[in-house]
């Protein structure tokens, strides 16, 4: 199981993250993250005009990358 480690900016019990927080967690650029969200590769939820990504979605996304035959995981 993949764990998202808490940093100074991210509460360890937080369930939803802003796209900016997800950028930091996934080490992706803003444009990459929005592209993934817009293509449906990374599910987001809307709360009013805000978009959020759940902790479970972030974990599932990383796990799917690890299972991808195109990805070479170096351990």
Per DSSP, the three-state class of 21 is helix
pLDDT for residue 62: 87
Interval 12-50: pLDDT, tens: 788 999 999 999 999 999 999 999 999 888 999 999 999
Q: 30: which 2 tokens?
A: 């803003």
Evaluate whether residue 32 is within a structural domain.
yes
Residue 54: which domain range? Answer: 16-67
pLDDT for residue 12: 73
Closest to 23 in 3D by CA, of 10, 33, 11:
33
Evaluate whether residue 7 is within a structural domain.
no
pLDDT for residue 10: 55
pLDDT for residue 7: 46
The tally of domains found in the chain comes to 1
Say which CATH number the domain at 29 has: 1.10.10
Phi, psi of 47 (to 5 degrees): -125, 100
User: For residue 16, what are the contacts with CB-CB under 8 A and spacing of at least 6?
Assistant: 45, 47, 52, 53, 54, 55
Please tell me which residue, 7 or 16, carries the higher pLDDT value: 16
Evaluate whether residue 55 is within a structural domain.
yes
């Amino acid at each position: 199981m993949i764990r998202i480690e808490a940093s100074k900016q991210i509460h360890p019990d937080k369930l939803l993250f802003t796209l900016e927080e997800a950028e930091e967690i996934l080490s992706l650029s803003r444009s990459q993250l929005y592209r993934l969200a817009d293509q449906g590769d990374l599910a987001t939820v809307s709360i009013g005009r805000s978009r959020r990504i759940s902790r479970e979605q972030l974990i599932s996304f990383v796990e799917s990358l690890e299972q991808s035959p195109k990805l070479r995981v170096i351990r």
